[in-house]
């Protein structure tokens, strides 16, 4: 997520206030906030979900809708998201 520099603190406060709720959402097995080491206004969230159904339930929840509404107005650029899976050999 690429934030307007003037809104980075707003995002960090928002994330701090909701991180435990997201971690406590059914099926969430972990949530981390990662910061780009070069650009101080770029952040990534990394979450691990028990299943895609659990992730989709979160995405459809009031919690997500509230957090996303408050987050997306802080962006400098449109956010990108990926769903990935671990490759095992």
Domain harbouring 48, CATH code: 3.30.70.100
Could you tell me if 32 and 18 are in contact, meaning their C-beta atoms sit under 8 angstroms apart?
Answer: no
Could you tell me if 60 and 27 are in contact, meaning their C-beta atoms sit under 8 angstroms apart?
Answer: no
DSSP summary character for residue 11: H
3-state class of 31 per DSSP?
Answer: strand
DSSP summary character for residue 77: S
Query: Among all chains, which residue has been given the structure tokens 């206004």?
Result: 41
10-21 confidence digits (pLDDT tens): 999 999 999 999
Question: What's the pLDDT at 68?
Answer: 96
Question: What's the pLDDT at 49?
Answer: 97
Two structure tokens written together for 39:
């650009």
Domain count of the fold of the chain: 1
Q: How many residues does the chain have?
A: 89
30-55 confidence digits (pLDDT tens): 999 999 999 999 999 999 999 999 99
Read off the pTM: 0.89
- 88: in domain: no
- 78: in domain: no
**Is the Cα dihedral 57, 73, 13, 8 positive or negative?**
positive
Residue span of the structural domain in which 64 resides = 5-72
- 57: in domain: yes
- 85: in domain: no
């Amino acid at each position: 997520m690429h934030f307007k520099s003037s809104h980075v603190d707003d995002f960090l406060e928002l994330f701090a206030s909701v991180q435990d709720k997201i971690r406590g959402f059914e099926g969430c097995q972990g949530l981390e906030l990662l910061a780009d080491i070069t650009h101080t206004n770029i952040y990534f969230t990394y979450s691990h979900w028990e299943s895609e159904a659990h992730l989709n339930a979160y995405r459809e929840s009031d919690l997500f809708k509230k957090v996303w509404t408050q987050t997306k107005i802080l962006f400098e650029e449109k956010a990108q998201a990926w769903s990935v899976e671990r490759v095992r050999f």
